[in-house]
Amino acid sequence: MERVKHHLKRLVGGLTLLLVTVFILLMSSQITMAIPNGGYTRPELLIQPEDLKVLIDKKDTDIRIIDVREKIKYLAGHIPGAVNIWRPDIVDKDHPTPGMVAPQAQVEELMGRLGISHRNTLIIYSDGADGARLWWILAYYGFPIRQLKLLDGSLDGWKAKGYPTEMISPQISQTQFKLPGKTKSMEPLLCTLPEVRGALKEPKKVVLDVRASKEYLGEETLAGAVKPGRIPGVKWIEWREVLIKEGPNKGYWKSAEEIRKLFADLGVTPDKEIYIY
């Protein structure tokens, strides 16, 4: 499970970064043994609803909660104290291709407007994969990974515990937010189309399509896609497969053992360089 940061690349314009987080959870250049909390090598990247509730109850001023959903959903009910970001906020507004990663200055302006400091620990949730996209963008621009957490179970998991939601937005004092910028360790997480074309020809590299089945099969084309279908020669798994589908833990991450088997059966193993879109 070595060199995780060098074995994960994301296609420009990709739709979801949830699977990138999966591989970082499962792999580490420093820890190779299974440990509690799902057996992940990086369990600190997730936070459980009950642990977040404790932080909120004790009014921990070091945390900021970010709800990554459409504004109308946010206003209908969100975790107390959460601020709202939606997908258009974190894509490049000036790029001719829809869905490209927002430039660093745009992300800095957004986070400062929301009153977020570089000292904060950010707890992110969504009702899909957009929370993981924000997590990835912040990590890509150098925000410390140790200060970035995804809420396991997301908002549904929070509400299933009987915890409260609110419909008011918190008062915000704007900040001057600056990101360190891309580091050598994070820069490999973004790749170009020529790199992808080359990866398709190499046995030690895997291009992974993690969209919904209808998109993969060309039966549905979402905004931002140039045309229906998929890149020839890719492997496919829908991003939702890493989450529990039913029962009291629906929406929570599967265990590390389950996820490793899921990808091993697909031929996606730690010795390969993985390109995700």
Spatial separation of the C-alpha atoms in residues 215 and 211, rounded to whole Å: 6
Q: Is residue 252 part of a domain?
A: yes
Q: Would you place residue 113 in the very low, low, confident or very high pLDDT band (cuts 50, 70, 90)? A: very high
Spatial separation of the C-alpha atoms in residues 273 and 202, rounded to whole Å: 10
For range 75-85, the mean pLDDT = 98
The better pLDDT of the pair 184, 141 is held by 141
Q: Would you place residue 81 in the very low, low, confident or very high pLDDT band (cuts 50, 70, 90)? A: very high
Residues 128-138 as b or e (16 or more Cβ within 10 Å = b): bbbbbbbbbbb
Q: Is residue 172 part of a domain?
A: no
Q: Is residue 93 part of a domain?
A: no
Q: Is residue 250 part of a domain?
A: yes
Spatial separation of the C-alpha atoms in residues 101 and 30, rounded to whole Å: 29
- What range does the domain containing 266 cover? 4-17+187-276
For range 234-253, the mean pLDDT = 93
The better pLDDT of the pair 4, 164 is held by 164
Q: Is residue 36 part of a domain?
A: no
Q: Is residue 206 part of a domain?
A: yes
pLDDT at 129: 86
pLDDT at 5: 34
- For residue 27, give the nearest of 11, 14, 45 by alpha carbon: 45
Give me the residue label for tokens 């189309």.
193
The better pLDDT of the pair 36, 152 is held by 152
pLDDT at 114: 98
Domain count, the chain: 1
Q: Is residue 92 part of a domain?
A: no
Q: Is residue 243 part of a domain?
A: yes
140, containing H or E segment: helix 130-140
Q: Provide the mean pLDDT of the chain.
A: 86
Spatial separation of the C-alpha atoms in residues 223 and 172, rounded to whole Å: 32
Give me the residue label for tokens 């209908």.
76
pLDDT at 19: 57
Q: Are the C-beta atoms of residues 203 and 177 closer than 8 Å to each other?
A: no
Four-CA torsion 241, 243, 246, 248, nearest 10 degrees:
170
The better pLDDT of the pair 1, 212 is held by 212
Q: Would you place residue 192 in the very low, low, confident or very high pLDDT band (cuts 50, 70, 90)? A: confident
* pLDDT over 90 percentage in the chain: 69
Q: 147 to each of 63, 134, 189, 213, 221, how far by Cα in Å?
A: 9, 13, 18, 33, 35
Give the type of residue at 123: I
CATH number, domain of 222, equals 3.40.250.10
